[in-house]
């Protein structure tokens, strides 16, 4: 069973760049039927899609965050990463990495999630 695990700092200062990595185990990130995404959830609030990346490096970002976000993929390490710049307290959230599957020829949906990691933005 494929597993996803987020890693990164739990506390970052305002205005810096937040970096998180998602490690994929028991399966290959080099899949033609999967995308790899990030979703965040502020404490006590709902879910927000940040963006997704294909193993080739093609990226799809939420326009609300596109000016501050960069995704990358490392197929040799079976990992993909998120960088979010100029963070503020509003970026405090649990950040989930997730796999998106293409089924029946349709667009991809989230079918497997990491456990999530809480990132707090505070000085």
Task: Please provide the distance, in angstroms rounded to a whole number, between the alpha carbons at the two ends of the chain.
Answer: 39
Bridge-based pairing of strands 11-12 and 117-121 is: parallel
Range in contact with another protein (rule: CB under 8 A) among 12-20, 25-33, 41-49, 73-81: 41-49
Tell me which residue of 112, 118, 101 sits closest to 32, measured CA to CA: 101
Number of other CB atoms surrounding residue 38 within 10 Å: 27
42 contributes a contact to another protein by CB under 8 A: no
5 contributes a contact to another protein by CB under 8 A: no
Q: In terms of CB distance, is 8 or 48 closer to another protein?
A: 48
The structure tokens 């970052």 sit at 12
Smallest distance, Å, CB 52 to another protein?
8
Residue of 9, 17, 28, 47 that binds another protein (CB under 8 A): 47
108 contributes a contact to another protein by CB under 8 A: yes
Q: 44 φ, ψ to 5°? A: 75, 10
Smallest distance, Å, CB 96 to another protein?
6
Residue 20 near residue 6, CB atoms below 8 Å: yes
| x/- letters, 52..71, toward another protein (CB under 8 A) | --------x-xxx-------
104 contributes a contact to another protein by CB under 8 A: yes
SS3 content of the chain, % helix, strand, coil (to 5): 0, 50, 45
For another protein, the binding residues (CB under 8 A) are 46-49, 60, 62-64, 96, 98, 103-104, 106-111, 113-116
């Amino acid at each position: 069973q494929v597993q996803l695990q987020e890693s990164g700092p739990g506390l970052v200062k305002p205005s810096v760049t937040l970096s998180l990595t998602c490690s994929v185990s028991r399966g290959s990130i080099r899949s033609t039927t999967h995308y790899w995404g990030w979703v965040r959830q502020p404490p006590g609030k709902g879910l927000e899609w940040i963006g997704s990346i294909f193993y080739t490096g093609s990226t799809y970002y939420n326009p609300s965050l596109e000016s501050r976000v960069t995704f990358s993929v490392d197929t040799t390490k079976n990992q993909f990463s998120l960088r979010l710049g100029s963070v503020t307290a509003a970026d405090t959230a649990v950040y989930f990495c997730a796999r998106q599957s293409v089924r029946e020829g349709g667009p991809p949906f989230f079918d497997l999630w990491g456990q999530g990691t809480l990132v707090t933005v505070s000085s």
